[in-house]
Chains A and B, each alone.
Chain A
Amino acid sequence: MIHKHDLLIVGAGLAGLRAGVETSKYHDVAILSKLFPTRSHSGAAQGGIAAALGNEEHDTVEWHIFDSVKGSDYLGDQDAITMMCSEAPDAIYELEHMGVPFSRTKDGKIAQRQFGGHTKEVKDEQGNIKRLPVIRACYAADRTGHVLLHTLYEQCVKNNVRFYSEYFVLSLIIRDGVCRGLTAFNLRDGQIHTFHAKAVMFGTGGYGRAFRVTSNAYANSGDGVAIAFRAGIPLEDMEFVQFHPTGLYPLGILVTEGARGEGGYLKNRNGDRFMKEYAPTVMELAPRDMVTRSIQTEINEGRGIDGKDFVNLDLTHIGAAKLKERLPEITGFAKTYAGIDPVKQPIPILPTAHYSMGGIPVTLKGEVLADEKGNTVTGFYAAGECACVSVHGANRLGTNSLLDAVIHGRRTGKTLVEFLRTAELSPMPEDAEDNDKKIFADLYDTKKGENCDKIRVRLKEEMMNKCGVFRNEKDLNSMLDTIHELKSMYKNVAMMDKSKVFNTEMQEIFELRNLLEFSDAIVTGALARQECRGAHWRTDHPTRDDVNWLKHSIAFKTEKGIELKYKPVIITKYQPQERKY
């Protein structure tokens, strides 16, 4: 079956829905998702969305820019960061106007809280400038992503956006440098459908599911990133994967950084607030990469609780009333999954795979880049976690992810409104579905073969151990061997379910294909990058190397394997400095 629309957006999280709101006023827009839209993982974001509103104390856009540049370990492109932070206040007000139920200050403004790496300049008694935590994260209790997601979905319903829920994308159709649409299978009937559009936008989210311990949803299998890669699009800075410091032990469910923003302490087995050893001025509110490494170091050196692989997040001094008002969701998680009451007991936490700084390279307008030289692919756009602008560089600051999704969803939407005014439908090749049909036929024919889950479990386990918080050449080489072995096993994967309707096993098999695809790019990039920068930490090359590595990696899929090229970082105002907090 063939469907035609002006614009096809894939992914119904914050980036996709925000672009949907922007474009649906003027064009025929459809949003396709493998889930029902409000199930998207943007809804799991808890702590806040950054903007220098100054509702709680004096703050400036310039400080937000500086913090994001420094937080990125100077790998973020400063033109992009400047634009994002400058547009932030207006974008937040606009969300409020759409109906987002933010928590409120006493005088009725949008409430804000502290978050890691966000600072203000203050002069001490000697007149020296110090940087201390600032109140910048706009929030709705610890359900900020949930209320943003639902509000944007509501706006799309209001604008009569056409949704295709529970469709799984198989292939992006790009011919002669022009994107013409995609193929997808409808989970409800198991049929392959072709979507023909003047433009396609990906807002498909991240890929934490490649790691054993993760805060990410089952859905976060990096589909968009892998599908683009298979279609010949390069991937940028894939080696930078953020491990969030506080995943609930042992599953890794997110415990918001807002818990530390509200005053929570991190403590080791001796009851010490160990962050004083690693980041004496901002303590628990250091950026995530630093807090994560500090926690992992405490665990590795035997100072985890009872010598185990977790430390404590202590909120007991915050008080029951404030926890109920500001952090109700994580209080509930701790009770349900760990059986502890955060009012009285500390929460056991460990680092958890959380966010993908890298992804599909895009311009500031959301156009997908075809190479490291700045050429674009006509008709293909991307925003949010699946894209790399790059505003997060080597390490994203907390609350900048929701901001990135909203700002670039909006910007890409505006670009598309203009593009679609004059764009024509390019012909859809007749063989668009052929490759997918062959893969389907093979899956239905194969009687015996490899078990999908076994391949996936091994990938996740080894990615955690060999390509996690601390990395080295030996482990990364071994990981590459594993990926190649798993990829050849995957060729013989067998599907038990031979039915068409809601064949969720087939979905898992396609997700595994995507996990293997982009994991190769992560490890290849990590092996090449012989330095420590942000979330990428090489114990065998223990310093940042601006002379050789102040550059973005761009991975290309070739017949011989992955080929890496590089492009310069855009530096406008802030020259790289040593990164201390």
Chain B
Amino acid sequence: MKVTLNIRRFNPEKDEKPYRKDYEIDVPETFRILDCLDKVKWDIDGELAYRRSCSHGICGSDAMMINGKNMLACQVLVKDFKKKYITIDPIPSLPVIKDLIVNMDSFFKKYEVVKPYLISKEQPPVKERLQSQADRELIDEAVNCILCGACSASCPSLWSNENYLGPAAMLKAYRFIFDSRDDAADERLDIVDTTDGLWRCHTIFNCVEVCPKEINLTWHISQMKKKCAMREL
């Protein structure tokens, strides 16, 4: 199958500004977009730079914007696209380092802000802490996050205000606030109950649309909003 990848290129050592270039390749229809990028890199231009590792949607390395939508290059096949002219860009709103590689430092700083670790104030028992299946269910979607950044990079609220924590960091806050074993819900709510936190989410649902793990981020954010409203009563 003949496919053309239209890739946004930028090499900071050579290029004053980014440019776009077409790459025509002939690939099996079962090829992932990631395989197509490999084909370009290995056969045409070894300079093309992108991140990748597991190649099946669990490591979160290869989030990029494909035909205008953030997704994982390893999780989508060429045959899934009707038109065989496919545009590929780095995920937006983060500084581009080279080609499809963005600087994710700010993304991970925000992750660290919400205290992304279990805080338990009681001495644990000798065996496991008990947790009901219903309580475990509350965090079932949230623990699936792979920190790929597709959600936060798709968020218009974050585009217009870079201080906004963004959906990924907020989901991490939820993951601990709603974990029955955690004792620091209030500390974390204090962090997210701010104008650069929960209240900057205007339920635009871009994050939900792009999440490769099908996590309903907006719902999780709304649960924290509810919790904040409740504690003020």
Which residues of A pack against B, CB within 8 Å? 35-36, 38-41, 43-44, 92-93, 96-99, 101-110, 140-141, 143, 146-147, 150-151, 154-155, 157-158, 188, 217-219, 250-251, 253-254, 329, 332-333, 336-337, 451-453, 495-497, 499-505
Contact = CB atoms under 8 A, between A and B. Distances in A.
A97 B47 contact: no
Contacts of A496: 45-47
Contact of B143 (A109, A147, A251, A336): A147
A102 B132 CA distance: 11
A499 B11 CA distance: 8
A104 B133 contact: yes
Contacts of A146: 58, 144, 146
Interface string B122-141: 00101111111100100110
Contacts of B49: 502-504
B135 to A, nearest CB: 8
Question: Interface range on chain B: under 10, 10 to 19, 20 to 34, or 35 or more?
Answer: 35 or more
B106 to A, nearest CB: 14
B1 interface: no
B132 A217 contact: no
B58 A154 contact: no
Contact of A93 (B47, B101, B104, B127): B127
Interface stretch (B110-118, B157-165, B222-230): B110-118
Given A38-B60, A110-B128, A499 B14 contact: yes
A329 B58 contact: yes
A368 B95 CA distance: 42
Interface of B is mostly: loop
Give the top 4 A-B pairs by smallest Cβ distance, nearest first. A99-B118, A496-B46, A108-B130, A154-B117
Interface of B: 11-14, 30, 32, 41-43, 45-47, 49-61, 75-77, 97-99, 101, 104, 108, 112, 116-118, 120, 124, 126-133, 136, 139-140, 143-144, 146-147, 176, 179, 181-182
Nearest to B52: A218
Nearest to A154: B117
B66 to A, nearest CB: 14
14 contacts: A35-B59, A36-B108, A38-B60, A41-B53, A43-B146, A93-B128, A98-B118, A104-B131, A105-B133, A218-B53, A337-B30, A496-B45, A502-B101, A505-B41
Given A35-B61, A39-B61, A109-B128, A337 B56 contact: yes
**Which of B52, B98, B120 has the largest number of chain A CB atoms within 10 A?**
B98
Contacts of A333: 56-57
A36 B107 CA distance: 12
B136 A103 contact: yes
A529 B31 CA distance: 38
Given A104-B131, A104-B133, A157 B46 contact: no
B58 A108 contact: no
B74 to A, nearest CB: 9
B54 A500 contact: no
Contacts of A495: 46
A501 B53 contact: no
Nearest to B49: A502
A99 B181 contact: yes
Contacts of A217: 53-55, 59
A451 B46 CA distance: 10
A219 B53 contact: yes
A165 to B, nearest CB: 9
B158 to A, nearest CB: 20
A342 to B, nearest CB: 15
Given A35-B53, A502-B98, A96 B41 contact: no
Contacts of B53: 35, 39, 41, 217-219
Contacts of A40: 59
B133 A336 contact: no
Contacts of B54: 39, 41, 43-44, 217-218
A254 B54 CA distance: 11
A35 to B, nearest CB: 6
> Which among B14, B124, B130, B143 has the greatest number of chain A C-beta atoms within 10 A?
B143
Contact of B59 (A41, A154, A504): A41
Contacts of B127: 93, 109
B52 A453 contact: no
A101 B143 contact: yes
A497 B14 contact: no
A500 B146 contact: no
Nearest to B133: A104
A361 to B, nearest CB: 27
Contacts of A501: 11-13, 97-98
A143 B130 contact: no
Residue among A38, A92, A251 having the largest count of chain B Cβ atoms under 10 Å: A38
Contacts of B108: 36
Contacts of A44: 54, 56, 58-59
A39 B59 contact: yes
Nearest to A253: B56
Contacts of A98: 118
A43 B143 contact: no
B41 A140 contact: no
A332 B51 CA distance: 22
A43 B147 contact: no
A62 to B, nearest CB: 19
A43 B58 contact: yes
B55 A504 contact: no
Contacts of A336: 57, 75-77
A502 B13 contact: no
Contacts of B45: 496
